[in-house]
Structure 1
Amino acid sequence: MSDKAYETLREAIVSCELAPGAWIKASELAESLGLGRTPTMQALQRLEAAGFVRPVKRKGWQVTPMTLQSVQDILEAFELTAPSLVVLIIRNATDEQIATLGEKVIRSAPGRPATEVKPDLKAAPIRYLVQICGNPVMTEMVLPLATHMERVLSFGLLHDDNFLDPAYVRWRNVLLDAMAARDEKRAREAVLKVIHVGATEINRILQGAQSIRSVPLNIERAS
């Protein structure tokens, strides 16, 4: 039961259905999920350990705010790991898996210009990328980072209709073509370009999201 609560809450946070900085009361959450207090608290504690929520004394639980620094840390970590993941996929993944990855990437972030199809925030392309790399140790290590990356992507897609401009679309297509052709050098170059374009846009969006970036300086942790 706590697994169900954990997965439900995590996906709501990753898709920004529960926005950065939002407040959660354990009692209300337990009632909405139809669960007891114990499994609900266990789920919240797991989410805290994963960096998605934090307890605040006398106020409940807060979805971890998305700040310029936290996003920079996530993007920097992913920039270091993404080229290696792409190479592992080229060496280990099947053609079908690479094609599925491409479909998930396009569904999750169509880019601009594009059709009027809304992004599918449940496509989870970055987590899928990690899962098909063929190295179980790498998958276990990087999957938490991939989940945070998808939250950053969801935030950008929900807060700016012009997010992911033509430069993103161009390099995304280069990346997908290079992976399909098993071209490691070209794929490494393209994935870094995709990350750099996305990072620039995310920082621009966050600069204008003062309410999201406003984080209390002194927080009393819940007992």
Structure 2
Amino acid sequence: MSYLAPFAAPVPLTTRALQALRRDILTTRLAPGETLSEATSAERLGFGKAPIRAALARLGEEGLVQPVPRRGWVVSLVTIRDIHEVFDLRLVLEPEAARRAAANPAARADAAALARLDAVCAAGYRPEDAETALGFLDANRAFHVAVAELSGNARLARQIGRLLDESTRMLVLGLRRRDRTGEMAHEHRALITALARGEGEAAAELMREQVGASRAMVLAALTAPDATISV
């Protein structure tokens, strides 16, 4: 019998650099259009240039950054087309996931877990408080992914997770102008109730309304005459 305590394998430096840069981009700590260099990114994050170089190349494949000759990299802009494409897909997939989730007997058992995630969302989004802001964003994503997973279709849940990652940056930009977190928390609670009661059509409609309202918020914020960021 071995008495060695189990230990987690160390996370590769490139993976850690990728996670840090992706989080900074998605939360707009690195704003759309901001220029990045390997040297400054390595110094800021405390990594060597090699893992930063590999991480930026990966983010380039994901479309979050773009190479600029003799300047390094630039954080990709958020375009109106991006917003419509991402939210159009969310409107196709998430209401159907909610409808299927309501037919899943596990939805009742998981209602308490969904409520705990919603409680974090209800605390609100305060951009001046980094931990609270990140907690809200993580909980909101986790809530939507949890609903998608209850659909019983793992591929559907993964696709929704990817779309939520893409829409995180858009949501942050929208919330800076209008705090809709109270409304979102109310929508979450209504959705939890519909799921627990097995009301598929009601769950689908509630999800459709929530995703649609978030898109409207983002578009209003980024197309306002006095918007502080170009899209």
Question: What TM-score do you get using the length of structure 1 for normalisation?
Answer: 0.78
- 1:70, CA displacement in angstroms? 1.2
- 1:170, CA displacement in angstroms? 4.8
Deviations 1:127-155 (A, max 9, x none): 55325344332233332211012222122
> In percent, how many aligned pairs have the same letter?
24
Q: For 1:1-223, list aligned pairs within 5 A.
A: 1-90=13-102, 91=104, 93=106, 95=108, 97-105=110-118, 107-108=120-121, 119=133, 120-130=135-145, 132-133=149-150, 134-157=152-175, 159-160=176-177, 162-164=178-180, 170-208=186-224, 212-214=229-231
Larger Rg: 2
The code of the aligned residue for 1:176 comes to: I
5+ long unaligned stretches in structure 2 = 1-12, 126-131
- 1:26, CA displacement in angstroms? 1.2
**Helix, strand or coil: the match of 2:66?**
strand
5+ long unaligned stretches in structure 1 = 113-117, 215-223
In structure 2, distance between residues paired with 1:28 and 1:40: 10
- 1:105, CA displacement in angstroms? 4.2
**Helix, strand or coil: the match of 2:229?**
helix
In structure 2, distance between residues paired with 1:73 and 1:25: 29
CA distance change for structure 1 residues 139 and 168 in 2, over 3 Å: closer, same or farther? Answer: closer
- 1:212, CA displacement in angstroms? 2.6
In structure 2, distance between residues paired with 1:82 and 1:62: 31
Question: What TM-score do you get using the length of structure 2 for normalisation?
Answer: 0.76
Q: CA RMSD in A?
A: 2.8
